[in-house]
Amino acid sequence: MPHTIRGGPARAGLLTCLLVSPPFATADTVWMKNGDRVSGTVRSLSDGKLVIDTGYAGTVSLNWNAVSTLSSEKDFDVRSGKSSKTFKARLEATDAGYIIVHQGETRQRVPVARFEEFLKPKPKTAALSWTGNIDAGVSLKKASTRTQDYNLAYNNKVNVGKWRNDFGGTYNREEEDGTMNTDNYSLRYALDYMFREQYFWQGRASYKRDWVEDISQQGLIGTGPGYQFWDDELGSFSMSLLGGAFAYGYSDGSSDSHFGASVRWDYQRFLRGRTLSLFTHGEVGHSLDDDAIFSMDAEVGVRYQLTSWSSLNITYGHNLISGTRDTLNERSFITGLGVKW
């Protein structure tokens, strides 16, 4: 617990400790009610969970009602529960059960119980960052019928300065008593340029190959503006409006294409100290000619974090195409394990 040290020898000893231990001097520190102290980088408080990155135990989620006080080296985005307004403030440890909030020139002693949510702002940097995950599901069943299901999905995001790269793919295969019910794969790539803090321009291309449905190939290439509603420690949400060309190939070798417009969304929200996340992403498009072709390819799911690198996920997907010579209405329900980096 923070306390005042009086006297010349004691003060000299404290200065010596600070000089020989610089890593601890720049770390955020959390004091627990049981007397433990955790040092690292505090990332967020939400849903009663305090998330902190440590150099010795990875990312740790602490119960907020077990925290006595804390101190931060940099400002947080603090959200007031009553007004829902966000303000920047630095937090300073004080007596048990209280935190001093520094907002500009003002200092306020606030009970720990009054804090509901604060976030460490994401730093703006030109350095390369790479995040991603791979989700896999396998189901083998042998009873009156023999069923084999395989599902694989991978996602990558590589950011360098104002440029954002998003690419990935899926593979799905379902076989029942030697009959193939599902057999397809998909690839996608998107490149964003953030020309303002929340505005970006996107170019996107995607391709899907199917060996079961009559619509055997789907292709899209488009470009257009987008808006990033938020991107912080608790999640992200963006939408983009694209115009471009859509193409479809059929199992007999014929094909057709059209110009169209589509709306793309990407949403993710972390809950319970990042142990649970909700996500949805997809695209809805319509032709701009007389064919009146409508398309939708969307997913919604939940991911539960088992460890710092592994998760359990459940995903529902819906792929719909109407207005072509054959209507496609494909639904999927996938559960499996995943790894992230």
Q: How confident is the model at residue 11 (pLDDT cuts 50, 70, 90)?
A: very low
106/138 same-domain check: no
Most confident of 40-44, 230-234, 261-265: 261-265
73/190 same-domain check: no
Last residue of a domain, one of 61, 89, 119: 119
3-state secondary structure at position 9: helix
| pTM greater than 0.75 | yes
Last residue of a domain, one of 64, 86, 119: 119
Identify the pLDDT of residue 274: 87
The answer to whether residue 18 sits within a structural domain is: yes
154/219 same-domain check: yes
The answer to whether residue 136 sits within a structural domain is: yes
Share of the chain above pLDDT 70, in %: 91
Q: How confident is the model at residue 146 (pLDDT cuts 50, 70, 90)?
A: confident
Last residue of a domain, one of 88, 119, 150: 119
Query: What does the alpha-carbon distance between residue 107 and residue 101 come to, in Å, rounded to a whole number?
Result: 6
180/107 same-domain check: no
Mean pLDDT of the chain: 87
205/321 same-domain check: yes
Query: What does the alpha-carbon distance between residue 150 and residue 309 come to, in Å, rounded to a whole number?
Result: 22
Given a cut of 60, whether residue 332 has pLDDT beyond it is yes
Domain boundaries, position 180: 128-340
16-59: pLDDT as tens digits: 333 333 334 458 999 999 999 999 999 999 989 999 988 887 88
46/84 same-domain check: yes
The CATH code of the domain that includes 234 is 2.40.160.40
Identify the pLDDT of residue 17: 38
Q: Average pLDDT, stretch 195-199?
A: 92
275/155 same-domain check: yes
Q: Which single residue is written with the structure tokens 């500009």?
A: 104
Q: How confident is the model at residue 325 (pLDDT cuts 50, 70, 90)?
A: confident
Q: Say how many domains are in the chain.
A: 2
Q: Average pLDDT, stretch 246-261?
A: 92
Give just the sign of the alpha carbon dihedral 238, 191, 206, 313. Answer: negative
Query: What does the alpha-carbon distance between residue 138 and residue 304 come to, in Å, rounded to a whole number?
Result: 18
DSSP string, 15-44: HHHHHH-HHHHTSEEEEETTS-EEEEEEEE
